């Protein structure tokens, strides 16, 4: 039994940290987040070209590097740590994962090589703007796909789509027929499909873009539907994989908040001594450390379960039990890491005092990212409720 990062994973982390320390500085972030695109396409081209990150978890059969979700973990931690503005999370954690889970071989062949090469960005949308605030996953879907002889007609709205205004490939969840059918379909379509209107949505956290998609009777061919796995189950697995990725990001970001606070507490003097020598500040930092490392345990374990599930799936032996394990691990990690990151981001501001809430200091970027990550893919409350259900609470009568 071994529960630690391998040498290779540590090397990947070091590589990522070197690159991002140079290419995702506060100045880069500030510049990127003020553009509507939300990232620097030149940096993204280098990420794909020099580093090959978009293809990291794409199998070699589809021209990727063929590593697993567990290797993604240190990379995502570093992206969180540097508030990296890039379509990585949308393209890899949402888009590529959706194709890997639910795509047919032909669909994978059609899109994954382009994603791995960095030529195609992608994302997944599922939440309708009118869905109840607490609905999540399938129950938040309001888009409808009417089945025709030649394919499908999609009508309705999807919102809160990460990088939805710029992604080259959109994957959306829709009720086939209507919601009462209970049949959920996943559909892949190019971002410039006729009848589709995409609107960029300004957000409180400017480091991750959201968009809304209006489907005005969009006509899709039959083969736009991802049929590699039943739609409802596939959406659940994809969102779990994405939650695991987001949790890893949150760990790195939380640790950045801790590190900033500790460094500041060591040098900032008040009353003739470093503020970190006062118990109030020292204990705030100690509690942050605890949360960061606990978050890391939860997220890293969830990444391991995700990696096993993907391996099982490739081997054609995905079990109910494994899906349940992933759900449990993903929801635990997302709930814990969301709260941990938010806690650390808030406490980092508190330790920094006045400068902590200025625009000039990076603390606010983390704080806003903590809030947006917390709201994305279901609140901590939603995920805890899911854990309670998985524990069998409430089944007894």
Q: Which residues make up the interface to a copy of itself (CB under 8 A)?
A: 278-280, 283
Q: Tell me the site size for another protein, rule CB under 8 A.
A: 86
Does 153 sit near another protein (CB under 8 A)?
A: no
160 binds, among another protein, a copy of itself, none (CB under 5 to 8 A by kind): another protein
Nearest approach, Cβ of 278 to another protein (angstroms)?
Answer: 7
Instruction: Name the residue nearer to a copy of itself (CB basis): 262 or 304.
Output: 262
| Token duo for residue 254 | 């939380």
Q: Residue holding tokens 């990727």?
A: 64
Interacting residue with another protein among 193, 203, 219, 227 (CB under 8 A): 203
293-322: which residues touch another protein (CB under 8 A)?
A: 293-294, 296-298, 300-301, 304
Q: Burial, 129: exposed, middle or buried (Cβ in 10 Å; 0-12, 13-18, 19+)?
A: middle
d(CA 368, CA 42): 25
Instruction: Name the residue nearer to a copy of itself (CB basis): 180 or 280.
Output: 280
Does 27 sit near another protein (CB under 8 A)?
A: no
Instruction: Name the residue nearer to another protein (CB basis): 181 or 277.
Output: 277
Does 57 sit near another protein (CB under 8 A)?
A: no
Does 213 sit near another protein (CB under 8 A)?
A: no
Q: Burial, 324: exposed, middle or buried (Cβ in 10 Å; 0-12, 13-18, 19+)?
A: exposed
d(CA 111, CA 101): 13
Closest CA to 152 of 178, 126, 130, 121: 178
The 336-365 site mask, x for binding another protein (CB under 8 A), equals x-----x---x--xx--xx-xxxxx---x-
User: Residue 203's CB: how many other CB atoms inside 10 A?
Assistant: 17
**Measured between alpha carbons, how far is residue 1 from residues 4, 6, 303 in Å?**
10, 13, 16
Closest CA to 32 of 24, 44, 40: 40
Does 229 sit near another protein (CB under 8 A)?
A: no
300 binds, among a copy of itself, another protein, none (CB under 5 to 8 A by kind): another protein
Nearest approach, Cβ of 216 to another protein (angstroms)?
Answer: 20
Structural contact between residues 369 and 208, judged by C-beta atoms closer than 8 angstroms: yes
| DSSP 8-state code for residue 162 | E
Nearest approach, Cβ of 17 to a copy of itself (angstroms)?
Answer: 34
In this structure, is the dihedral angle defined by the CA atoms of residues 49, 50, 54 and 56, taken in order, positive or negative?
Answer: positive
124 binds, among a copy of itself, another protein, none (CB under 5 to 8 A by kind): none
Nearest approach, Cβ of 68 to another protein (angstroms)?
Answer: 10
Nearest approach, Cβ of 260 to another protein (angstroms)?
Answer: 12
80-119: which residues touch another protein (CB under 8 A)?
A: none
Angular region, 272: left φ>0, alpha ψ -120 to 50, beta rest? left
Interacting residue with another protein among 179, 287, 312, 313 (CB under 8 A): 287
């Amino acid at each position: 039994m071994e529960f630690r990062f391998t040498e290779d994973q540590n090397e990947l982390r070091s590589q990522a940290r070197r690159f991002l320390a140079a290419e995702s500085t506060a100045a880069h972030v500030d510049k990127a987040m003020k553009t509507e695109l939300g990232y620097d396409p030149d940096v993204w081209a280098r990420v794909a070209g020099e580093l090959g990150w978009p293809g990291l978890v794409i199998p070699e059969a589809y021209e990727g590097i063929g590593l697993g979700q567990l290797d993604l973990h240190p990379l995502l931690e570093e992206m969180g740590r540097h508030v990296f503005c890039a379509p990585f999370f949308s393209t890899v954690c949402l888009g590529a994962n959706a194709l890997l889970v639910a795509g047919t071989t032909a669909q994978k062949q059609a899109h994954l090589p382009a994603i791995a090469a960095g030529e195609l960005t992608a994302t997944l949308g599922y939440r309708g703007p009118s869905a109840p605030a607490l609905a999540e996953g399938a129950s938040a879907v309001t888009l409808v796909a009417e089945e025709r002889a030649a394919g499908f007609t999609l009508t309705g709205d999807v919102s809160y789509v990460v990088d939805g205004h710029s992604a080259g490939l959109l994957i959306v969840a829709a009720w086939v027929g209507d919601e009462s059918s209970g049949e959920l379909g996943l559909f892949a379509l190019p971002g410039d499909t006729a009848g589709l209107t995409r609107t960029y949505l300004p957000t409180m956290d400017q480091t991750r873009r959201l968009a809304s998609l209006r489907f005005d009777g969009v006509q899709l061919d039959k083969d736009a539907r991802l049929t590699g796995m039943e739609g409802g189950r596939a959406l659940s697995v994809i969102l779990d994989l994405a939650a695991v990725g987001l949790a890893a990001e949150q760990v790195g970001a939380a640790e950045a908040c801790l590190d900033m606070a500790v460094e500041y507490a060591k040098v900032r003097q008040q009353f003739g001594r470093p503020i970190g020598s006062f118990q109030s500040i020292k204990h705030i930092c100690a509690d942050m450390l605890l949360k960061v490392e606990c978050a890391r345990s939860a997220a890293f374990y969830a990444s391991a379960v995700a990696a096993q599930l993907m391996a099982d799936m490739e081997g054609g032996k995905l079990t109910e039990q494994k899906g349940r394990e992933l759900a449990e691990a993903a929801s635990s990690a997302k709930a814990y890491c969301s709260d941990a990151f938010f806690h650390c981001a808030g406490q980092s501001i508190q330790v920094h005092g006045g400068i902590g809430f200025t625009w000039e200091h990076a603390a606010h970027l983390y704080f806003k990212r903590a809030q947006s990550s917390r709201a994305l893919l279901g609140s901590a409350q939603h995920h805890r409720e899911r854990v309670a259900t998985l524990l069998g609470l409430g089944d007894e009568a």
